[in-house]
Amino acid sequence: MNQLERTLAIIKPDSFAGGHAGEILAMIEAAGFRILGMRMTRLSKAQAQGFYDVHREKPFFAGLVEFMTEGPVVVMALERENAIRAWRDLMGATNPANAADGTIRKKFGTAIDRNAVHGSDAPDTAAYELGFFFSGSDLA
């Protein structure tokens, strides 16, 4: 069943530094997403730790926090039918080497830990992640 959903998307520092933000935005719009909110920001260490807290005990946590604070990111609230699944399909597999042709991670990701973009993986995650970066009035 098709359902209008919202999801969080982040253009990560590697994509921003590589000059790929515009092309990624064009891919998002071409895939039928409506951008409800968008801003460029630079995450502090505390913000990155808070956002990725679910991974705190994993061995890649410190490297992930360091990577996400090394430069600007673009955070977006996206909306369309089945947005979470559609955005994950457009992103491609977490490891760019395993991502399908035509996906963002295949085009712009260089490694599993430098994979160009982030996206929420479920409705409850999307609600939390959207609330981390946007207030309800931002997305009215």
3-state helix, strand, coil in the chain (%, to 5): 45, 20, 30
Q: Are 126 and 8 in contact (CB under 8 A)?
A: yes
Cα angle: 103, vertex 42, 88; to 5 degrees = 20
Task: Output the six-digit token pair for 102.
Answer: 């035509």
Gap between the Cα atoms of 102 and 59, Å rounded: 30
CA 75 to chain centre: 7
Please report which residue ranges of 1-140 form alpha helices under DSSP H: 13-17, 21-30, 45-51, 61-68, 83-91, 104-108, 123-133
Catalytic residue set: 118
